Structure 1
Amino acid sequence: MSLCTIMNITKNKFYSALTILAVSAVFISSCGPDKKEKDAQAQTIKQEDAIDSPAVELAMVNKGKLQANISVPGELLPYQQVDLYAKVNSYVKKLWVDIGSQVHQGQLLVTLEAPEINSQLAQAESHVKQMEAIYYASKATYDRLYNTSKIPGTVSQNDLEQADAKKNSDLANVEAAKSSYKEMAANLNYLEIRAPFDGVISARNVNTGAYVGPGGKGTDPLLVLQDQYRMRLVVSVPENYTGGLSDKNKVSFTVQALPNRQFTAQIKRLAGALDEKLRSERLEMDVYNTDHKLLPHMYADVNVPLPSHDSTLFVPKTAVVTSTEKVFVIKVVNHRARWVEVKKGVQTGDVMEIYGNLEKGDQVVKKASDEIRDGSAVSY
């Protein structure tokens, strides 16, 4: 083969390769934009499908007995508390107790003195003696006339009756004077203030020598006595949770001062009516403060057991939507969302009691929101 022939073959191959490269470049340049556009269109369609038919997680409507508690704030109050005032105007002669003193029923707490009461009592005693003297005189007169009247014609019947009336009037004056004396003597008892029940003195607002008088609005008491051995735990239960509560239930509670201790108490008293302002029912429990660790007016976190019902429907609390329109769950039927209006019941943990047009076994969206519109398609 000649040199010219070889050069021609090589030249032809070179041109053929250039041709293939050019065609390939044209093919790549023509196909590239179409593939990107198709991918973008596919992504858009996928996003639209996700909006039109969002993927959701379903949960089943269950039916059974739901045990639930609610946590409400409470306050510890003394079982009994009394503000002690002076009954009469007087001076504090002696204080026998101070803040924190443990006292017993009938124990002397304060001795008062009022000199004018002694003068009034002496005056009343003199008045009694005066009335008695007048009575004895009128009685003696009547007795003489009565004895004389036994002789006919000596004393008229009218004189005898007037003497008898005078005697009875003087006797009434004696009784009135004695009553006045007893009233003055009773005031002496008011000069001693005694404890009406066992308890602790929680406040003292006077000192020896202070002038005191009958208490009124805005007047501080001499002493405040509290029964701290037995206390009242008071809570207010919202209206929604009051049905079925009874004095057979027990509650547990904690206080901030003793965070590691849990206390229990029995429900003793239910108000039986709702508070006009709070729309809640007042419950009272008796707490026996044997170790004196609890103090009056402590705040408590109280767990109140709620009545359970055998026919309760409940779902995860995330399945219940509270919107501006209504409260509802999203029921899924044949891949379609259906808003079902419900009413909330009690809640325990992650589960909520509901009331509505639902049945056991219905499927609802577990994490629902009002973005899933009524009637829209969903996937799961």
Structure 2
Amino acid sequence: MSSEATNRPSQKLSRRGLRLTGIAVVTILVVTVVIGLIARATQAKSLKTWTQEQAVPTVAVVMPEPGKSGPVLDLPGQLQAYTRAPIYAQVSGYLKAWKTDIGTPVKAGELLGEISTPELDQQLQQTRADLASAKANADLAAVTAKRWQAMLVSDSVAQQDVDQRTADYTAKLAQMKAAQANVDRLEAAKAFARIVAPFDGVVTARDTDVGALINAGGGTGPELFVVSDIHKLRVYVQVPQRYGPSIRPGSSAVLTVPEYAGREFHAQVVALSNAVNATSGTTLVQLQVDNGGNQLMPGAYAHVRFDLPVDAAALRVPASSLIFDNAGLRVATLGTGGKVAFRKVSILFDYGKTVEIGSGLGADDRVIDSPPDGLKDGDAVKIATEDTMAKPHEKA
């Protein structure tokens, strides 16, 4: 009896322990499953939040800035002598001699060459002989008229005869003056046989030689010599119509030429054509540069740099902020509520890394730099902070 009573309580205890153990295991399993479900839900929510955050692009925003200095306009120019005179022959003949060659400095009136004029010399001799004959006839007519006037006092001759002798003297005197004028004309022409420099300068061309046949004529015949005054030079530049109003007489420019690399010459605007060439769309600007050392040569090519004035209304933005597509040239700005707003703009000047905007943008507009592809009007964006911008660098 005692052994059976002892076994019964132990069996009851073991069954109870097993039940408690089972309940504990089930509870643990349930808790584990619940924790797993909660963790998965939390992770899914976090992933959804992260995905939504990543769907909103992060952009860098810059503010338009006024220009601190004006644009630089670099244009090709042509150097010309301050004064250039092509020398043509005014009498025909043969070149007897030339006295100066190219590159020779000359003074005003200095002899450049001489023309032999045998035909003109013969004409001059003939006109001088005609003048002598006319003078003799005039002298004889004067004496005759004087005598007839003296005889008129004594009523020895008629008044009609005196008038005829006086008229003959007047005609002979006119013939003598005509002959004198003809001599003076040919002597003046003979003086042109001496070719002289019209002003102080340099002989920049000689297109004749001894024995060459010379034909008289202004711009029709060949140039015998060219004398140029190069103590100052004129510089001619074709300026685009857009920048014409920015360049006025008195404006300064910097001149560079290939033969003096790194050296600058200072020029000044002296005149403008005040007209636009319909073919090229440019206006002609004339500058003047000092050439006291005769280092610059007329006819040479030069680079002319204009430092244009600052446009107070113009704003500068990074060139990377520009968008050019089928909608035209635009920039993306950050509008109200962090939404994208596109603005159509026009460029005044391109500085490379930055551009000067002429219209379409205000000083208070926030411009998106390097806008991502696919950005549309009204899209929401986030502004990148310094920490955000540093993250890619830290990961790298």
Common fold, TM-score beyond 0.5?
Answer: yes
Secondary structure in 2 matching 1:234 = strand
Which residue, 144, 149, 155 being the options, matches 2:152? Answer: 149
Aligned residue in 1 for 2:11: none
Secondary structure in 1 matching 2:245 = coil
Structure 1 range deviating more: 362-371 or 96-105:
362-371
Equivalent residue runs for 1:188-199 within 5 Å: 188-199=190-201
1:173-216 C-alpha deviation (Å, 9 max, x unpaired):
11111111011101211111111122222222222111111356
Aligned residue in 2 for 1:358: 361
Secondary structure in 2 matching 1:233 = strand
Aligned residue in 2 for 1:17: none
User: Structure 2 vs 1, CA of residues 142 and 307 (structure 1 numbering), >3 Å: closer, same or farther?
Assistant: same
Secondary structure in 1 matching 2:343 = strand
1:278-326 C-alpha deviation (Å, 9 max, x unpaired):
2222222222223332222222222102122333333234444555654
Aligned residue in 1 for 2:258: 256
Which residue, 144, 157, 160 being the options, matches 1:158? Answer: 160
Distance across 2 between alignment mates of 1:369 and 1:235? 43
Q: Is contact 2:333-2:341 (8 Å) kept?
A: yes
Structure 1 range deviating more: 80-89 or 65-74:
65-74
Aligned residue in 2 for 1:35: none
Distance across 1 between alignment mates of 2:326 and 2:218? 52
Quote how far apart the aligned CAs of 1:272 are.
2.6
Distance across 2 between alignment mates of 1:267 and 1:127? 58
Q: Is contact 1:250-1:266 (8 Å) kept?
A: yes
Q: Is contact 1:337-1:375 (8 Å) kept?
A: yes
Which runs of no fewer than 5 residues in structure 2 stay unpaired? 1-43, 384-396
Q: What amino acid sits opposite 2:232 in the alignment?
A: R
Matched, 1:104 2:107: yes
User: Structure 2 vs 1, CA of residues 282 and 169 (structure 1 numbering), >3 Å: closer, same or farther?
Assistant: same
Q: Is contact 2:67-2:310 (8 Å) kept?
A: no
Q: Is contact 2:88-2:219 (8 Å) kept?
A: no
Distance across 1 between alignment mates of 2:207 and 2:189? 23
Secondary structure in 2 matching 1:149 = helix
Secondary structure in 2 matching 1:310 = coil
Which residue, 291, 294, 300 being the options, matches 2:293? Answer: 291
Aligned residue in 2 for 1:26: none
Matched, 1:73 2:76: yes
Which residue, 179, 183, 194 being the options, matches 2:185? Answer: 183
Distance across 1 between alignment mates of 2:193 and 2:373? 74
1:115-155 C-alpha deviation (Å, 9 max, x unpaired):
11111111010111111122222222322222222234x44
Q: What amino acid sits opposite 2:333 in the alignment?
A: K
Distance across 2 between alignment mates of 1:195 and 1:97? 10
Aligned residue in 2 for 1:276: 278
Quote how far apart the aligned CAs of 1:346 are.
3.7
Q: Is contact 1:249-1:305 (8 Å) kept?
A: no
Q: Is contact 1:60-1:315 (8 Å) kept?
A: yes
Secondary structure in 1 matching 2:247 = coil
Higher helix share: 2
Aligned residue in 1 for 2:140: 137
User: TM-score scaled by structure 1?
Assistant: 0.78
1:320-358 C-alpha deviation (Å, 9 max, x unpaired):
455565443333314443332333324446443323243
Q: What amino acid sits opposite 1:98 in the alignment?
A: D
Distance across 2 between alignment mates of 1:168 and 1:370? 105
Report the aligned-residue RMSD: 3.0
Secondary structure in 2 matching 1:74 = strand
Distance across 2 between alignment mates of 1:134 and 1:339? 102
Which residue, 114, 123, 128 being the options, matches 1:125? Answer: 128
Q: Is contact 1:109-1:195 (8 Å) kept?
A: yes
Which residue, 86, 95, 113 being the options, matches 2:98? Answer: 95
Q: Is contact 1:321-1:328 (8 Å) kept?
A: yes
Aligned residue in 1 for 2:333: 331
User: Structure 2 vs 1, CA of residues 140 and 54 (structure 1 numbering), >3 Å: closer, same or farther?
Assistant: farther
Secondary structure in 2 matching 1:246 = coil
User: Structure 2 vs 1, CA of residues 258 and 135 (structure 1 numbering), >3 Å: closer, same or farther?
Assistant: same
Q: Is contact 1:65-1:309 (8 Å) kept?
A: no
Q: What amino acid sits opposite 2:245 in the alignment?
A: G
Q: Is contact 2:346-2:360 (8 Å) kept?
A: no
Quote how far apart the aligned CAs of 1:217 are.
6.0
Higher strand share: 1
Q: Is contact 2:106-2:197 (8 Å) kept?
A: yes
Q: What amino acid sits opposite 1:267 in the alignment?
A: V
Q: What amino acid sits opposite 1:252 in the alignment?
A: V
Q: What amino acid sits opposite 1:226 in the alignment?
A: S
Q: Is contact 2:94-2:115 (8 Å) kept?
A: yes
Q: Is contact 1:315-1:351 (8 Å) kept?
A: yes
Secondary structure in 2 matching 1:345 = strand
Which runs of no fewer than 5 residues in structure 1 stay unpaired? 1-37
The alignment-based identity, stated in percent, is 28
Q: Is contact 1:65-1:311 (8 Å) kept?
A: no
User: TM-score scaled by structure 2?
Assistant: 0.75
